[in-house]
Each structure stands twice: as C-alpha cells, then as structure tokens.
Structure 1
Amino acid sequence: MNQKNHEGRRSARERLQAQRAKEQARARRSRQVIVAGSLLAALAMAGGVAVWVTAAGNGESGTDNETARPKQAGGGDRPAVPVGAPDAPSTLTVWEDFRCPACQQFETGFRKVTHELEDSGQLKSEYHLVTIIDGNMGGQGSLNAANAALCAQDAGKFRDFHDVLYSHQPPESQDKFADKQYLLRLAGKVKGLASPAFTKCVNDGTYNGFVRKSDDAFGKSGYRGTPTVLLNGKDLAKEQSGRVTPAVLKKLVRAANKGKKPGSVSPSASTPAAPGRGAAAGASASPHAKRAGAASASPRTGAVPSP
C-alpha cells in the first residue's frame, strides 16, 4: 500500500512539473510577442511599408553537433555564411529564416542596394540562418531551405540561391520548402548550381547540424525576431529612429567607410539569379492576423523607396 501511495505521489509531482513547464513556456511566448511588437515598430521602414517581425516561439532547438561546415563558412558559436569581399570595411549581419515573411520583405526591398555595396567592396554580409517558423508553425521547411542554401554555398552560389528562395517563398502556413524536390527544382533557376553533388547534399541534409547550431545561437543571442539586421554591430532597428530605407543604408555604409579602402572583390562575382516573384527592389504587404508568438504590422502598405 505504501508503495502504491509513493507511486501516486511521484506521478502527481511529475504532472505538476509538466504543468508548470507548460505555464512557463506560455509566459515566455507572451513576453516574446511584446518584444516582437516593439521590434516591429522600430523596423517599420519609411514609405509606409508594413513589415512583419516573426518572434521566436517555443519550438525545441536541435541538439546536433556541427558535423559539417560549408566552404568558407564561419564556425564557432555563431555559424554564418559570408557574402562579399572578406576585407570590406563594413559588415551587415543578418539573422533570418527562409519561411519568414518579414525576412522576405527585407531581402526583397534591400536586395539591390546590398548587392551593389557588396559588389563594390564596401560591404560584406554575414547570414545566420535560423528555424523560427518550423518551431512556431511546425514542419521543416526552414531547416531544409537553409541546408539547401548551404549546399549552394559549396558551389559558390549561396547569394544567387538565397535570392531565389526568397523570390519563391510560399505562404507562411504552407511548408513547401520541406519538399526537397521543390528545392532541387528551384536550384535549376541558378546557372551552374544543379549537380549530383548538390542533389546529394540537399537530400542528405548535410548541413542540418550547422543550421541547428546557428538556430541555437539565435536563441541565446537575446534577439527575439527575424529579420534582425545589424550594421557594424549596430541594430538597424535603433538607427534613424528605426526608419531605415535602402537609401539610408547606403548613406550609413558610406559614412562608416569614409577614408577606408574598399575590399578586394573577386572577378567571379555572383551572377544575377533568374527573376521570380518578389525579385523587384520594392515590396508591399497587407496586414494580417498572426499566430501567438508573432506580431502583425500596422495597417499600412506601400513600396520600399528605391535607393
């Protein structure tokens, strides 16, 4: 009888611990919604563009060790993919998720100016790939798309394929990037990318561990929404009262680089990827209801001003 009572008390304790864990997770999500809302207000760009910020949810991060690293990618505690001249005087740090609508809007609106600055040796970009939407919405499209982009890095085609992925981003609720065959078809839009090696890398999930380590780093970074964009370590959400346009970004880079020598640009610069949905330099958005763990934009729409 005593044994049964002991078992009963232990079971009750376990249920209580599980309930407390759920309540703590719910509280964390609530705090993240508030933080995401403040980021949203700061990141709203001039020109009346509605910008979404996706907040980190309570999805469990992978625990895989980094077992493989793409060519020229940075390792350590914050794995990243570099784009542009390594010795460029300014650095743009971007934390993003290929399923994130806000990331698509940022990348679409700022693509022209970031490419221009990279190709002129003024700016190098460092991309940290995360999987927030997989955690919040379920699925593995964020993971699979990030792995495919890293496979493209091995072929020297990261920037091109990165842009194709955003130009063909499915609706947030549709986990289309989970389909590896779809990712392989998109690779056909980048000249010279499709190959047996790329196909094997995508199908094998070669860089899943690298992506998960990057996602873990995001969780420990203190940042709560994507995209998180920093110029030379300064959060652009806090620059120019948060109203940063492509023209303002160019101005900030030029000011930071004044008197400094541009980086050495490789003659084999990335060629433009095949155009697709959202490939223009402008972006627009309509407000829509978001799930718990994310914030929606104010009801304004418009185009990102050209630089």
Structure 2
Amino acid sequence: MTPAQARQEMRDAVMMEVRDLTLATQKQPVAVRMYRPALQTLAPVLMYFHGGGWVAGDLDTHDSFCRVISEWAKCAVIAVDYARPPEYPFPRAVEDCYAATAWVARNGAGLGLDTRRIAVAGGGTGGGLVAVVCQIARDLGEPAIGFQLLLYPIVDCLARNRSRAEFAEGFGLTTELLEWYLSQYVPPGIPLAHPWLSPACGTCLQGLPATMIITAGCDLLRDEGRAFARKLRKAGVPVRHKEYSGMRHGFMNHPGAEANARRAILFCAEALAAHYHRRDTSA
C-alpha cells in the first residue's frame, strides 16, 4: 500500500465518526450529534438526553460521556440538543426528545443505524426525559424502545422523602437550585404532577422496556430513583438498580477524578452491550 493508504487505514480502524445533524421531525427541526464506532456498518442505537436541570446542559457538556459509551458499548449514540428553557419552556424538551427518537426509528437506517435495537439513556433531568419518552412511545405504539437507562433521574417533582431532606444543601444539586430549574422550565399553571414532569407518579407503568437505574448515595434524588425501581418491578418491568454509596448527583460526569464514576460508566456500557447482543441474536 501507499503511505497515504496506510494512514487512512489506521484512521478508519481507530477513529470514531462524529457528526452534527439537524433532523427534520414532524413538529420542528431538532439538532443532534451522532457518534458511531469505527468499522461498524450497522450500529445499534442509544438515544441520549443530557442533564443540566433542563436549562444548563448541552451537547458539549456531555460529549466525553457519549464518546466513551459509544466506544465501550459498541453502539451509535445520538445525543439530542433539545430546546431549553426559559426560551423554550415545558413541554418542548419532551417533544424534541420524543420527535428525535421517532425520527431515528423511521430514518436511521440511512445513517447506518440498526433501528431494531434502540435504547434510551439520560442523567438527572435527562433521566426524567427518558422515562417520559418511554411512556409516550408505549402509549403511541412507536418507536420500539428495548431498554432505558436512567442515571440519578428526577422522576417525581413532588417528592418529599428522606434524601430530599438529608441532602438538601451541601452536596452539589441543592433544593434551592432544583426549585430554580423548575421555575425556569415549568410555566405557571402547569401542575408538577403532570406525567411529563413526574413520570413515576403515573398509574400505569406496565409495558415499559427493560430498565436500569443508577442512583447516588448522597443525592437528593436518590430515594425517588429507588422508589421508581420498586414501582417498575411491581408493574412487571425487568429492572436492575445499582447505587453508588458516598457519591453525589452527577458523579459520572467526572471519571478522571472519581474511580466510582469510571466503574459506573463501564457498568452501564456492559449492560447496554449485553442488551444489544441479546436483541441481535434473537432477531
């Protein structure tokens, strides 16, 4: 081969394809960032909804997480840049996340995606969006989502429990900050019990995809994550729940500083890879 061919061969073997795209969904265009592993012709899909209190996160703040998950789980990651409040209040984030997931299910084959194998994941408020999107997909009958991964999610905006009191301040995400996020996201007159804000409060949790929930031991959202896992199990949903003691909300965003973050990311990647493998062999 020529030197140029040798250089390109090495790039093809180790490089990840990363592309910023705009999806022409039925309601409005939705920006996404796609990560695809090298040399994978038809990749399973992970839709990813970032955290940040609906207000603060974006594609760049969670870029490294998406790259690692794509490489370790050997899947394509579609990170959704949903419109954020206060410019775009509730329910716009929900609409964008669902629309992007539905678009990928219908059109993803053209991007080299295996639309038979779709999972969804998100952290914090992104985890809440995951739970909502899965319930909408179940109710509408599409898209087919096989797995949901919720990282220290907010799934009950009305929660009053031990962790909400014990970790109200001094542990990163505080009660005051969460209330500010809600004030930016939720317009006046919208009840916090709305199922698109508090998906754990729904009366029907049957028929949802297999679920993994990660909670942090020193997080004011800890107990609602635990409770959601119990409710899903009671509804017959296959659930795995793993808690990392001593960790704060958002700890997986700092793998360089925290060994438990690295362990948790690997744990999630292995769970995703196992799910995709089961779906692939049964297809």
Calculate the TM-score normalised by the size of structure 1.
Answer: 0.25
Q: Relative contact order (C-alpha < 8 Å, sep 6+): which is higher?
A: 1
Q: Which has the larger radius of gyration?
A: 1
The structure that is strand-richer by fraction is: 2
